[in-house]
């Protein structure tokens, strides 16, 4: 753990939004060369604290001390000038520009004639990347980079402006196993340069890998910082949710012999080839694989969001040839996508409008409004969606509550085949538990689920069987209850019993 002096101190920070207390006399500190993790359920106040440090929000009360200088609040420019860089979960990059152009955006190197010196920018960008052992070409277009390299680029941008304090908000949320390890190694290198890091993550394992201290936020209040080396998952989760926690309730398989979905030799060029599997009524079939294995692309074809090149899909014994998601929904197939911001939410619309946008059960217009409101209110209650009311814009909700709103939407439908693509990505432990309970309830009602997940404990606990995909091929299917985490990881990475990579 770093023993350096504190470079950031927050004292009694308070912020309210109307009657809602987002932060209640929060105290927090950060040392040079330290990773201080910040955890808490969705809505606990983490986002508000980040925005205050970034200058996007002003606190009502309290003091922010940065490098021994006291501030009542910060503007965005002041935050940057003080060396605070915020790396958000949603990428803040111009994807049509090059790596170098993004690094120098707003701070371009110009010639004596006042024009941008691209040669100098590429040279300096290359030096900066090499200094951190990052192998990204400085002339590459950002949209061609992997999610991991895009996330890394945001960190390099922060280094370019001499950031001494970095706030990382769920930096590995979109990354696979190998990419996550690479980013965590980069964090370790930043620490050796005496950069202080506030690290926010719902993946508690990451906290134990790189964290020095951890502060839990609950209902806007901060728990006394815990030393990571002297803590454990049970202690942290108890502080987060206020009780002892067992994330995965015991779930017995209730799958029947009745076939719901049959996929035969399904192929999509450059994504997956000759994939075959069956799904039974009341079954959760998990899909494991590293980034690029083809799982999401496979689900998109089944849902009608993309076209297949060849192969057959049968739903209840009848051909499923969906040319669009609408036709899939009409057949009872619904999908909760990985990128809920891009593919599932209408940010500017209300919670009610987002939940009721696919409502194929209420047909009479003169009855619809009253029935719709009652149905939406019941789902908000059932799923514990934290909202000021059905009229609140969904974009203002926390990530976990947005995800539960997407789930609520499909519960209004007549779907009997649910596709969950990374359903708990970016949500807190409490929200995860509610989503797992919902999935278990769906299969008890006779629904069937295809579950794509990058979280090994989630796959093992929630699935009846797990289909392993590598490089676009379904290589094997295993019984989840007969598979250990070590065995599953080896299958995902293609490692045999001798530790050798296989195809």
pLDDT (tens digit, 9 = 90+) per residue, 235-264? Answer: 887 887 665 545 565 667 778 889 999 999
Band of residue 378 on the pLDDT scale cut at 50, 70, 90: confident
Tell me which H or E stretch contains 14. Answer: strand 6-17
Here the tokens at position 468 are 């392993």
What's the confidence (pLDDT) of residue 342? 54
Instruction: Say if CB 36 and CB 233 are below 8 A apart.
Output: no
Q: Of 54-63, 132-141, 298-307, 402-411, where does mean pLDDT reach its minimum? A: 402-411
What's the confidence (pLDDT) of residue 435? 84
Closest by Cα among 154, 162, 224, 167 to 196: 167
In a shared domain, residues 168 and 271 = no
Would residue 359 count as lying in a domain?
Answer: no
Specify the pTM: 0.64
| Rounded CA separation 139/294 (Å) | 28
Mean pLDDT, range 13-30, rounded to an integer: 92
Q: Is the dihedral of CA 71, 74, 75, 81 positive or negative?
A: positive
Angle at 55 between CA 49 and CA 60, to 5 degrees: 60
In a shared domain, residues 198 and 314 = no
Band of residue 471 on the pLDDT scale cut at 50, 70, 90: confident
Mean pLDDT, range 174-189, rounded to an integer: 85
Would residue 107 count as lying in a domain?
Answer: yes
| Rounded CA separation 365/368 (Å) | 5
CATH of the domain at 480: 3.40.50.300
The pLDDT of residue 285 is above 50 = yes
In a shared domain, residues 289 and 212 = no
Band of residue 204 on the pLDDT scale cut at 50, 70, 90: confident
The pLDDT of residue 215 is above 60 = yes
What's the confidence (pLDDT) of residue 268? 94
The pLDDT of residue 343 is above 70 = no
Three-state secondary structure string covering 23-58: EEEEEEEEECCCEEEEECCCCCCHHHHHHHHHCCCC
Band of residue 3 on the pLDDT scale cut at 50, 70, 90: low
Of the residues 211, 241, 271, which one is the last residue of a structural domain? 241
The pLDDT of residue 381 is above 60 = yes
The pLDDT of residue 360 is above 60 = no
3 state SS of 452? strand
Of the residues 185, 210, 241, which one is the last residue of a structural domain? 241
Task: Report the percentage of the chain scoring pLDDT > 70.
Answer: 91
The pLDDT of residue 89 is above 90 = no
Which position has the higher pLDDT, 363 or 272? 272
Three-state secondary structure string covering 325-371: HHHHHHCCEEEECCCHHHHCCCCCCEHHHHHHCCCCCCCCHHHHHHH
Would residue 189 count as lying in a domain?
Answer: yes
3 state SS of 152? helix
Give me the domain span that covers residue 276.
258-332+448-492
Band of residue 265 on the pLDDT scale cut at 50, 70, 90: very high
Here the tokens at position 455 are 């979280």
Q: How many domains does the chain have?
A: 2
In a shared domain, residues 186 and 230 = yes
Which position has the higher pLDDT, 447 or 492? 447
Band of residue 74 on the pLDDT scale cut at 50, 70, 90: very high
Would residue 349 count as lying in a domain?
Answer: no
| Rounded CA separation 66/412 (Å) | 50
The pLDDT mean for the chain works out to 86
In a shared domain, residues 235 and 280 = no
3 state SS of 397? coil
What's the confidence (pLDDT) of residue 242? 65
What's the confidence (pLDDT) of residue 368? 60
Which residues does 45 contact at the CB level (< 8 Å), separation at least 6?
A: 15, 22, 23, 26, 217, 219, 220, 221
Mean pLDDT, range 305-311, rounded to an integer: 95
Q: Of 77-81, 138-142, 173-177, 489-493, where does mean pLDDT reach its minimum? A: 173-177
In a shared domain, residues 284 and 317 = yes
Neighbours of 16 (CB within 10 A): 15
Would residue 499 count as lying in a domain?
Answer: no
Mean pLDDT, range 419-444, rounded to an integer: 84
In a shared domain, residues 217 and 281 = no
- Taking CA atoms, 334 is separated from 48, 97, 305, 407, in Å, by 33, 36, 11, 10
In a shared domain, residues 236 and 319 = no
Q: Of 166-180, 197-211, 345-359, 488-502, where does mean pLDDT reach its minimum? A: 488-502
In a shared domain, residues 118 and 262 = no
Helices (H), 76-167: 76-81, 99-103, 118-131, 147-160
Tell me which H or E stretch contains 169. Answer: strand 165-169
| Rounded CA separation 419/415 (Å) | 10
Which residues does 5 contact at the CB level (< 8 Å), separation at least 6?
A: 31, 32
| Rounded CA separation 299/48 (Å) | 35
Band of residue 478 on the pLDDT scale cut at 50, 70, 90: very high
In a shared domain, residues 19 and 132 = yes
The pLDDT of residue 357 is above 80 = no
Band of residue 229 on the pLDDT scale cut at 50, 70, 90: very high
Closest by Cα among 339, 283, 280, 277 to 302: 277
- Taking CA atoms, 183 is separated from 158, 170, 190, 192, 383, in Å, by 15, 11, 11, 15, 34
In a shared domain, residues 24 and 92 = yes
The pLDDT of residue 369 is above 80 = no
Would residue 180 count as lying in a domain?
Answer: yes
Q: Phi and psi of 190, rounded to 5°?
A: -65, -40
In a shared domain, residues 143 and 277 = no
Of the residues 208, 241, 274, which one is the last residue of a structural domain? 241
What's the confidence (pLDDT) of residue 366? 41
Band of residue 365 on the pLDDT scale cut at 50, 70, 90: very low
What's the confidence (pLDDT) of residue 367? 44
Would residue 70 count as lying in a domain?
Answer: yes
Would residue 392 count as lying in a domain?
Answer: no
The pLDDT of residue 118 is above 90 = yes
3 state SS of 380? helix
- Taking CA atoms, 128 is separated from 100, 131, 148, 150, 184, in Å, by 10, 5, 17, 15, 19
Q: Phi and psi of 496, rounded to 5°?
A: -85, -175
Strands 213-218 and 61-66: unpaired
């Amino acid at each position: 753990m770093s023993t350096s002096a504190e470079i950031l101190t927050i004292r009694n920070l308070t912020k309210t939004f109307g009657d809602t207390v987002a932060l209640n006399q929060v105290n927090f500190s950060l040392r040079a060369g330290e990773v201080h993790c910040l955890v808490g359920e969705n809505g606990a106040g983490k986002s508000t604290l980040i925005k205050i440090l970034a200058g996007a929000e002003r606190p009502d009360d309290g003091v922010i001390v940065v490098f021994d200088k006291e501030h009542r609040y910060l503007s965005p420019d002041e935050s940057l000038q003080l060396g605070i860089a915020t790396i958000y979960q949603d990428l803040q990059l111009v994807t049509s520009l090059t790596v170098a152009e993004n690094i120098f955006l707003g701070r371009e190197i110009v010639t004596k004639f006042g024009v941008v010196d691209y040669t100098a920018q590429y040279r300096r960008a290359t030096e900066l990347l090499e200094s951190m052992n990052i192998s990204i070409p400085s002339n590459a277009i950002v949209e061609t980079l992997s999610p991991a390299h895009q996330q890394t680029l945001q960190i390099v941008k922060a280094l370019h402006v001499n950031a001494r304090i970095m706030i990382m908000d769920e930096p590995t949320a979109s990354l696979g196993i190998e990419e996550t390890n690479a980013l965590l190694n980069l964090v370790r290198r930043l620490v050796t340069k005496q950069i202080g890091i506030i690290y926010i993550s719902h993946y508690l394992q990451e906290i134990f890998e790189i964290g020095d201290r951890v502060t839990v936020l609950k209902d806007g209040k901060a728990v006394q910082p815990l030393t990571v080396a002297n803590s454990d998952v049970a202690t942290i989760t108890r502080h987060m949710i206020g009780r002892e926690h067992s994330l995965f309730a015991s779930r017995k398989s209730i799958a029947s012999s009745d076939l719901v979905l049959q996929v035969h030799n399904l192929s999509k060029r450059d994504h997956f080839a000759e994939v075959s599997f069956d799904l039974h009524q009341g079954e959760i079939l998990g899909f494991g694989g590293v980034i690029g294995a083809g799982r999401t692309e496979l689900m998109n074809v089944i849902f009608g969001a993309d076209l297949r090149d060849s192969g057959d899909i049968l739903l209840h014994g009848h051909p499923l040839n969906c040319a669009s998601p609408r036709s899939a929904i009409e057949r009872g197939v619904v999908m909760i996508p990985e990128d809920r911001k891009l593919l599932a939410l209408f940010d500017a619309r209300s919670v009610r409008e987002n939940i009721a946008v696919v409502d194929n059960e209420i047909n009479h217009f003169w009855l619809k409004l009253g029935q719709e409101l009652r149905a939406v209110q019941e789902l908000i209650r059932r799923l514990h969606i934290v909202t000021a009311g059905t009229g609140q814009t969904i974009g203002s909700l926390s990530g976990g509550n947005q995800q539960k709103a997407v789930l609520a939407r499909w519960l209004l439908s007549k779907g009997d085949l649910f596709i969950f693509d990374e359903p708990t990505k970016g949500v807190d432990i409490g929200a995860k538990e509610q989503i797992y309970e919902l999935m278990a309830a769906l299969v008890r009602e006779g629904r069937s689920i295809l579950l794509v997940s990058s979280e090994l404990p989630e796959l093992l606990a929630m699935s009846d069987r797990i289909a392993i995909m590598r490089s676009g091929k379904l290589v094997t299917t295993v019984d989840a209850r007969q598979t250990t985490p070590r065995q599953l990881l080896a299958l995902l990475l293609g490692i045999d019993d001798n530790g050798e990579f296989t195809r």
